[in-house]
Amino acid sequence: MEPESFIYLDHAAATPVADFVLDAMRPYMTERFYNPSSPYAPAIQVRRDYEDAKAQLAAVIGAKADEIVMTAGATESINLMFNSVSGHVVTSSIEHQAVLQATMEHEYTLVQPDAKGTITPVAVLAALRPDTVLVSVALANNELGTIQPLKDIAMVLDAERRRRHMAGEQTPLYFHSDASQGAGLLDLHASRLGVDAMTLNAGKVYGPKQVGLLWAARHVILMPVVHGGGQERGLRSGTENVAGVVGFAAALTAASASRRAEAVRIASLRDSLKNALVAAFPEAVIAGNLKKQLPNFLHISFTGLDAERLLFALEMQGVLVATGSACAANKGTRSHVLTAIGMQPATADGSLRITLGKLTDQSTITRAADSIIAVVRSELKRVGK
């Protein structure tokens, strides 16, 4: 079966580079290949184009180009943020591995989510200590799609900052969010979200892989992970990935411009799939916070079935979905997110993460629903349910 003929419903794991993005990148690999640190005019023009691309990226989050550090993907961005603080860190037990692993380099407290995967402001408040320097909560959970109440968490942190100020305490308190998973569908404006620092990833918004950024407000003092020639204001050395950053800017700008319409379109498709599956299997468990969920996410569990068998049976029918997150999927362990929300093992083990995107339309959703219903029916029969 040719790749083109697959119905791809795993947009949370990876997205294809859009044609217009590749078109924007190509010149910086070929005729405008210059090192942006070189002093002659065509290289200076490349430097300007690079800075323009950073300004476009910054504009999406309501920031300036010089507040952004380009990184090789979201993971490095997260590491840069966590490397910049020393002290107690608060994050949640349902964060992406990149955040969890960076967290473990510090003293930390993991906030537990509620049953819908929400990190509540009250839970964050309970985890704060006088020496907490960083709180990091993803904009949306990458397995359930639950959108986190960042603005409300920010209010809790503001209160703690005021308390410290009144008490004459100097410890800073930064609020970071990995917004990789919501980008292109949610508002990313930093001041509206109430965050001091944000991670974004081109590979989730139809841009190239291993291109990301860390935005940090001016009062956040960053410390480099990678030392060298002094690029990115000394915060990330190495010859700039001009093509990648230009592509990221094209991808994120376009995704942001169309995000409201795309969110409506995709939520409608997601709901039609959900309704079809729930109608066929009333006992299926839909996880996440349905009132605060990414419009492209459907997390559905068939208690007693084996998600991996479902996944491979669906693949035979040309439908590609995920069990848990892509990063955890090939390690054979149960999702830490589903454990954290208290899902029973027999339900968690029968969970599919179905994520829609630009490749999805009504025709693919209808065919996917038919395939999923057929495959689940067959598996239910096999296990005698």
Catalytic residues: 327
Beta-ladder partners of 24? none
Contacts to its own copies from residues 113-142, by CB under 8 A:
none
Residue with smaller CB distance to its own copies, 2 or 363: 2
295 binds its own copies (CB under 8 A): no
Q: Is there binding between residue 223 and its own copies (CB under 8 A)?
A: no
Q: Does 13 bind its own copies (CB under 8 A)?
A: yes
User: Identity (one letter) of the amino acid at 280?
Assistant: A
Least spacing, CB of residue 282 vs its own copies, in Å: 28
Number of residues that bind its own copies (CB under 8 A): 71
Q: Which of 123, 280, 326, 380 binds its own copies (CB under 8 A)?
A: 326
Q: How far is CA 284 from CA 8, 118, 187, 257, in A?
A: 22, 21, 31, 35
Among 23, 131, 158, 308, binds its own copies (CB under 8 A): 308
If one asks whether residue 107 binds its own copies (CB under 8 A), the answer comes out as no
Residues of span 33-62 touching its own copies by CB under 8 A: 33-35, 37-43
Q: Which of 30, 168, 170, 363 contacts its own copies by CB under 8 A? A: 30
User: Which residue from 53, 249, 294, 329 is in contact with its own copies, where contact means CB under 8 A?
Assistant: 329
Residue 69 beta carbon to its own copies: minimum distance, rounded to whole angstroms = 13
Residue from 112, 120, 171, 210 binding its own copies (CB under 8 A): 210
- Site membership for its own copies, residue 86 (CB under 8 A): no
Q: How far is the CB of 80 from its own copies (least distance, A)?
A: 9
CB of 149: closest distance to its own copies in angstroms? 25
When asked if residue 72 is in the footprint of its own copies (CB under 8 A), the reply is: yes
310 binds its own copies (CB under 8 A): no
Helix/strand/coil (H/E/C) assignment for every residue in the chain: CCHHHCEECECCCCCCCCHHHHHHHHHHHCCCCCCCCCCCHHHHHHHHHHHHHHHHHHHHCCCCHHHEEEECCHHHHHHHHHHCCCCEEEEECCCCHHHHHHHCCCEEEEECCCCCCCCCHHHHHHHCCCCEEEEECCCECCCCCEECCHHHHHHHHHHHHHHHHHCCCCCCCEEEEECCCCCCCCCCCHHHHCCCEEEEEHHHCCCCCCCEEEEECCCCCCCCCCCCCCCHHHCCCCCCCHHHHHHHHHHHHHHHHCHHHHHHHHHHHHHHHHHHHHHHCCCCEECCCCCCECCCEEEEECCCCCHHHHHHHHHHCCEECECCCHHHHCCCCCCHHHHHCCCCHHHHCCEEEEECCCCCCHHHHHHHHHHHHHHHHHHHHHCCC
Binding piece for its own copies, criterion CB under 8 A, among 96-104, 128-136, 183-191, 371-379:
96-104
Cβ proximity to its own copies, 126 vs 312, nearer residue: 312
Question: Does 93 sit near its own copies (CB under 8 A)?
Answer: no
Q: Which is nearer to its own copies, 219 or 331 (CB)?
A: 331
To its own copies, the closest distance from the beta carbon of 194 in angstroms equals 25
Spell out, one character per residue from 337 to 366, where the chain touches its own copies: x when CB under 8 A holds, - when not.
------------------------------
User: Does residue 17 bind its own copies (CB under 8 A)?
Assistant: yes
The reply on whether position 369 binds its own copies by CB under 8 A is no
Question: How far apart, in Å, are the Cα atoms of 316 and each of 5, 12, 45, 257, 374?
Answer: 12, 21, 50, 36, 12
